[in-house]
Amino acid sequence: MRELARVVSAGKKSKAQIRPPGPKGTPIMGVMREFNRDSLGFIERAQRDYGDIVWMRFLYVPALFLYHPNEIEYVLATNAKNFIKSMSLRSNFFQRLVGNGLLTSQGDEWKRQRRLTSPAFHRERIAGYAGTMVDYTKRLTANWREGETRDVHRDMMRLTLEIVVRCLFSADVSNDVDEVGATLGELVKPFARQATLKWILNNRLPTPYHIHFHRLAKKIDRVVYRIIAERHAGGSDKGDLLSTLLAVRDEDGSQMTDRQLRDEVMTLFLAGHETTALTLAWSWYLLGKDTDIEEKFHAELDEVLGDRDPTFADLPRLKYTEKIAKESMRLYPPAYGLGREAIDDCEIGGYRVPAGTQVFMFQWSTQRDPRFYDRPGEFMPDRWTDQFAEQMPRYAYFPFGGGPRACIGASFAMMEIILVLATIGQRFRLELDPNHPVSIYPAMSLRPKDGVKVVVKSRD
Ligand code: HEM
């Protein structure tokens, strides 16, 4: 009998030898079609049906979906050295858009770029941006009229683009924001529908879509190259990030080429505005749906600020506003998924993961997981007590990613979101337009499909 038991256990494979469970999909495409049809639904179903570690195949590419904070921490932080950005971020699409900027670069090049860029995001520097954030918000709302209907998502995109360009590059793009916004909207549309196929095939054929895409990307290039050219022509050190990048010298004395500069500027231009605009748009949407929370928000603004403009020094006291921002990013994380690729074979959750596997983690799912959040689908800013934040697993909430590649602009973004919410909330209530249903459009980021339409009501 004992002999038989030994034979049975010898035949049993350890977890490290077997593949995690997961959907098979179809013989050639794997799960690609199903994923592209409804990516958020697919992400949710995969966890429900197979658990916290799910294996699948997109065409010939093996992929792992991770849902538990422990494994997410392992990939993003503890064992970050064994992972590079996923093939989606290395695709032609991203290369054409942001080239080899901070978001996409790797290894020593990334380290150098991160070191150079970091000072622009230090606390003392960020404090100096607060006035610009409030001034631009007041300028935006100066023409808002009582009772008019506005697309607040569009307004926030415009505003955050102006702010990031002014703060980091001391430039004004007021005349370009509408074109950039419309171009970006166009750029992500086809990509959203066929994302996985695009990064896997990664072809450079002159298809009508590629020709269209390159034409659109060129439009944004023009704005970025203009900012660089103006600075070259002006020649003065404005003490901003662009001046720092222009002044950089390698050991051999060489400077950044215009192409490298363009990649850095474009990266911050894109990474630094859409995500923040989305958090603001989703916050207005959530506030518009809950008058009790909205009243509490206004009460904090009245108590802390009264009629005066918010400043950097007010941030520690705008606690409820900060909780609104955090809770909004929990429910509608602008970056709703992150991807990495394993460089060497490794072990995740006891399973062996071969080199080359694409590993994906989803803020969308983990931040709505009932194991970590009571009533996970509800907008409850009050859940964010210090005690709650301390006891939860670190990677149950990661809207800004984590580990060495965590968002460099997280503090900048938090400050901007709080100051913009406060400046607008002091003056206006934004009522949701009942004739405009809001739905989610998971493109590169989590967008509201046709914007968020609101009716402007003065608080005076
Ligand atoms: C609510 C607003 C924002 C969200 C949710 C957000 C989210 C993220 C996330 C999740 C990552 C990590 C990507 C990965 O691990 O693959 C990231 C990286 C990055 N973000 Fe943000 N971000 C925001 C605002 C900003 C702002 C305001 C800036 C700049 C002004 C910025 C610049 C960057 C850059 C340059 C990186 C790449 C950092 C590196 O790899 O070293 N982000 N962001």
Count other C-beta atoms under 10 Å from residue 326's C-beta: 18
For the chain, which domains are there? Answer: 14-458 (1.10.630.10)
Question: Terminal CA-to-CA distance of the chain, rounded, Å?
Answer: 85
Highest mean pLDDT among 194-198, 228-232, 380-384: 380-384
Do the beta carbons of residue 424 and residue 141 sit within 8 Å? Answer: yes
More confident residue, 310 or 86: 310
pLDDT of amino acid 195: 60
Query: Going by C-beta distance under 8 Å and a sequence separation of 6 or more, which residues neighbour residue 345?
Result: 352, 353, 354, 355
H or E element, residue 116: helix 107-117
User: Mean pLDDT over all residues of the chain?
Assistant: 90
**Distance from CA of residue 24 to its chain's centroid?**
29
Nearest atom of ligand 1 to the alpha carbon of 406? 12
Which residue of 75, 269, 360, 407 sits with most ligand 1 atoms within 8 Å of its CB, as the best mutation to test the pocket? 407
Give 431-444 pLDDT, tens digit per residue. 999 999 999 998 88
Span 124-148, average pLDDT:
94
Q: What share of the chain is helix, strand, coil (3-state, %, to 5)?
A: 55, 10, 30
- Classify residue 188 as exposed, middle or buried by CB count within 10 Å of its CB (0-12, 13-18, 19+): middle
Count other C-beta atoms under 10 Å from residue 137's C-beta: 27
Query: Is residue 275 in contact with ligand 1, taking CB distance under 6 Å?
Result: yes
Query: Is residue 270 in contact with ligand 1, taking CB distance under 6 Å?
Result: no
pLDDT band at 388 (very low <50, low <70, confident <90, very high): very high
Give 91-126 pLDDT, tens digit per residue. 777 788 888 899 999 998 899 889 888 888 888 888
pLDDT of amino acid 242: 86
Nearest atom of ligand 1 to the alpha carbon of 413? 27
Query: Is residue 156 in contact with ligand 1, taking CB distance under 6 Å?
Result: no
Beta strand 358-361 with 446-448 is unpaired
* Centre of ligand 1 from the C-alpha of residue 153, in Å: 19
Ordered alpha helix ranges (H), 23-101: 32-37, 39-50, 69-73, 92-98
Query: Is residue 407 in contact with ligand 1, taking CB distance under 6 Å?
Result: yes
- Bridge partners of 65? 54, 360
Which residue's CA is the closest to the ligand 1 atom numbered 17?
A: 407
Query: Going by C-beta distance under 8 Å and a sequence separation of 6 or more, which residues neighbour residue 398?
Result: 72, 76, 338, 361, 363, 366, 367
Nearest atom of ligand 1 to the alpha carbon of 278? 1
Nearest atom of ligand 1 to the alpha carbon of 338? 16
Which residue's CA is the closest to the ligand 1 atom numbered 21?
A: 407
Query: Is residue 103 in contact with ligand 1, taking CB distance under 6 Å?
Result: yes
pLDDT of amino acid 1: 38
Report the C-alpha gap between 390 and 384 in whole angstroms: 10
Query: Is residue 403 in contact with ligand 1, taking CB distance under 6 Å?
Result: no
H or E element, residue 134: helix 130-141
Span 269-273, average pLDDT:
88
Which residue's CA is the closest to the ligand 1 atom numbered 23?
A: 275
* Centre of ligand 1 from the C-alpha of residue 329, in Å: 13
Give 147-193 pLDDT, tens digit per residue. 999 999 999 999 999 999 999 888 888 888 888 878 877 776 655 55
pTM to 2 decimals? 0.93
Query: Is residue 335 in contact with ligand 1, taking CB distance under 6 Å?
Result: yes
List, in sequence order, every beta strand (DSSP E) within 190-246.
none
High-pLDDT (> 90) share of the chain, %: 62
Give 44-85 pLDDT, tens digit per residue. 999 999 999 999 999 899 999 999 999 999 999 999 999 999
Query: Is residue 286 in contact with ligand 1, taking CB distance under 6 Å?
Result: no
pLDDT of amino acid 396: 98
